[in-house]
Structure 1
Amino acid sequence: MPCYKKKSLSLLPYVLLIGLVTSSCTLQKMVRLAKKQEITVQPTPLVANGQLVEFEIKAAMPPKLIKDGYRYKLDVYYEYGDQQREQIGALNFEFGEFLYENGRPIIVKQFSFPYTPKKNKGKLFVQGMAIEKETDDVKYSEPKQIATGLVTTPLLMVRNNEILFIPDNYASEADKPALLTFYFEENNAKLRSHLGSNLAVLDQYIADNIKTQEVTITASQAPDETKEMAQKRLAALESYYRSKLDILNYTNKKVTIKTLPVKSTWEQLVTKIKASALPKAVIQEVTTIANSKLSDKEKNEALQKTEANEYLQLYVYPALRFAEVTINYSRDKKADYQLYLLAKQIAEEKAPADALTEQELQHAATLTPLLAEKKQIYEAAVKTTNKWPAYHNLGKVYVEMARKEYRTKAKQALLAKAIHNLTYAGFRNPTAPVYYSLASAYHVRGDKLEALQYYDYAIKLGGNPEELKRIFADKAALEIEIGQFDDAIESLKYSGNSYQTQMNLGLSYLLKENYEGAQEFYNKALELQPNDALANYSLAVIAARTKNEQMLTTHLRQSIKADNSYTLKAIEDMEFDAYREQQAYKDAFRQ
């Protein structure tokens, strides 16, 4: 027995050695076999769009690469600048993570990485590695370049995304009534406590222990709702107000509640449609039907046959299902220096929260140019009043702070706080300007689908024509970013004839490879802003794609003359790679 054990022990190193050699050979064979891989990338070259570079990789491997106890992995990375490398992701050829196509294991996967200008000239690589699962032994393949980058033409869109502070009308508005709007579901008079509800704000007004309070309530309904729905909404709000008063039972408070006749459905419809971004002929058709002597049912049926029907259903009718509460009471005014000092003390918790009203806190925030101080005061206004202007303006401050922040993580954190506060502003005051602000914050942060959703909400709520034009214009810019060029062109029909509209129409047609149409819109932009650098640069890109050397020289030269920063852009832009040695390209840099 001892001899047997001794012999067995003496064989152990050889067994281990054989195992290591076998493992090493298998890994080596897998790496050699992987040379027969087929990898495609879409798009190629890579394209920068918005704040991301997004692309798809399809990798097909030889069937024999899949082995029990082993796995094959492709690391994906991007190299740019002075040997800078950004790890992007990986493709793992393990069971459950690939499919078979024509007998070969394949993976199709979406990838993205953040865009910055320093990545304009770079290369996309994959590097394979064969791995033994039990020992974690690894054998690497040679890196393989699979794409170059970046085409930056989709970034030539024009965006606004300017979020405005709620106008400070404290001096003139302090004594004016508060107006709260409540929206309802179709054919429903139930007050909502979720999205679109002002109930929490109304509760605070009801709870204010002011000696005299005059309350006026009115309501409206959409043409497609049952008769008397507006009246039911009016009654629901009056009942809610009185029930809350009974619970509070302020003996020293005199409250008068007056209900006005419901707002005319057709007058409201005409007002909304005239404020829309629809073509004038369509607006006139709807107005004519609404003002006709047809019955309500006949008018509704006639509207369903108009070109405006979809717009009415999506953007106008929901905004007509509302009721309004006006609360009228006033307070004594304080001097600006008193408001500022008290606001600072409230923010620092050195004065009671009710030392100032919400309007006074809002006004106090306008008295300092410092974003940090504005933030403190608006935070105090949010905490003490819970009303929508405080949330909105605090969101605006966070966006401005984010615009000045160069650190990516800090910038994203500030934008997240902006979105949080603007969302609450939207809950309390669902109007087009507020939802435009929220959409813009999402847009700036790079959350494209959320931004698109809130642009649609803003349009649905309606507003004055200039507000709607701004919303449609930035919505179109976002649609260009996500590759929905036809949708962008449709949105731009309602954005007016501004420089932004012409530029983004030009870009939409350029990216659809309709160069003649694109050139027409860029020329219109130049009529609005002669010698504009971006418009001329965009025309130079069209010239490069259409092989018009004279046009390339002219517009690239004018672009650089207007803004010297386009010199470096033109040197790095892949659109001009085919012209680097051409005289037409060189002449553009001679001023």
Structure 2
Amino acid sequence: MKKLNFAIAMLAVAIIFSGCKLGKMIKLANDQDLTIDPNPLELKGDEVPFAMSAVLPPKMLPSGTMYTINTIYQYGDQEVAVGSVDFKAEDFPNSSSSTSRKSENFSFPYQDGMNPGTLYVEGVATITASGKSKTSPRMEVAKGLITTSSFAQPVVLTALADHGYNDKEELEPTNINFYFEQGRSRINPRLSTDGTSNSDKTKNMSAFIAEKNVTRTVTITGTHSPEGSETINSDLSSDRAKAIEDFYRKQMSRYDYKDIADEIDFILKPVVQDWSEFKAALSAYDGISSSEKSEWTNIINGSGTFVDKEKQLQKLSTYKKVFNDIYPGLRSAKTEILTVVVKKPNAKIAVLSKGIVSGSVSMDSLTMNEFLFSATLTPSLDEKEAIYKTATKSGDWRAHNNLGATLLEKAKMSGDAQLIEDAITQLEIAANKQKSAVVQTNMAAAAMLQGDKEGASEAIDGAMSSSPSNMVSAKLKGMKGSLQLMSGDYDEAKASFASAEASEEVTFDKGLTSLLTGDYGDAQTTLNGVTDSEKLSADAYYLKAIASAKQNNAQAVGSNLKQAVSKDASLKEKALNDLSFASFADAVAEAVR
């Protein structure tokens, strides 16, 4: 009986001792040092991440114990158990005489209604052997939430397939080469060095001039062959070019060009003692062997004057053959005439296009390139849609793509989900006909409009791997930056926006990205670019107010908020509860009253 009483007594002592130990741990917990970063908590992407650093005072971890710090986010009548940090006495052997430190990163998914809220911690002291524990009262460690990142604007940039038509002035060349007798600059009608007589060539040129094509330049390059009887006359190349110019001008007079002739620029290019054309002709010539050609090139590329080299060439066994086969082709006046390509005026293209759409004009009145181009001549999305819809009858993938892109632009303005579905149908047809980065870009735009971030990302990656043009790549960068911003990848977003196509949404998101990465000056400057935007002006001023708060500029906080709420009264309540302005209550109150 005495033994039983002794055992009970010892158990009571142990219980009392452990209770004292736990009580002491909880008491010492009042001296723990907890740091939360960021504080207040901030939304980043779809998560609320933060780091907690805890420092326990000495003697708080007796042997055989563990201290746990639980984190709880409480909002309204709900709470989320976020995570915990465990301090085991065995892991801190010097805890009796020194502090015990530990850091952990935490994150919890954001849901509507979580703002405002409070992050609490509670400590749990535990005897590891028995599991007996004691819990401290909850302690507030951070407020939440700053939701500045939620201002991100989805970027939707569509891409049109190239219509392939150039309505600007284009020049097309017409080439006629005249050849001359050795040592002469007179046009011999009977000479036919290249198989066509100069007589036929002058007739062809005369007929061309008679057409009165709009001509910009006539470039005539006069040349000579290397032998002495040609090189002795240094003016021979120039005279040959001049002979063709004279003929051309006589024909203009014949066909009554009058003032039109003064608008044509004649460019004469006499080539004197130059081996370039001869070396090109020799390289293509198959009348002698490679080794024999080397004998020629060794002399030409060697030392000596032009005349000295030609004299050395005359000693070669192949000289006469080359002289008869190549030299005549070097006695020329090569003529290039640049004339303006005849095109329909844009106004006529627009009229014909309307007729094709209505069915009153035949489809072949315009080329497909001209018809697709006609859609760029109207600002009306409805008219563009009608043109591209008509063009799809041809089966051209570009028409299907551009129709899809136009429907997406209409969906951006109206929010009509059916338009997005109709656009995707057209884009799928285009994709089946032609694999193209342009089509994939529009698929990404459609996914962005549907809020399908994963689908948009996949489409962007697909387009990026399909060799997009610089213009299309800039669109992809804009949408990719938008996705990265909304996912909380701010540095990546900033890099993408640096090479993105300009748009109001891109400019706004660039400014927001700078704000979220701490570049407050750049944020202010960038957001100035959209303060006149009908859609984004209010939000831009609001973000400028946040940037001003980060820069501790109360006056700018007030002035920017005043602009913001004057454009969107719903921002008043947000400003009053925004933790970004916690230190600027007076400025906020003045701005929103």
Range into which the TM-score falls when normalised by the shorter chain: 0.3 to 0.5
Under a length normalisation based on structure 1, what TM-score does the superposition of the two structures give?
Answer: 0.47
Under a length normalisation based on structure 2, what TM-score does the superposition of the two structures give?
Answer: 0.47
Larger Rg: 2
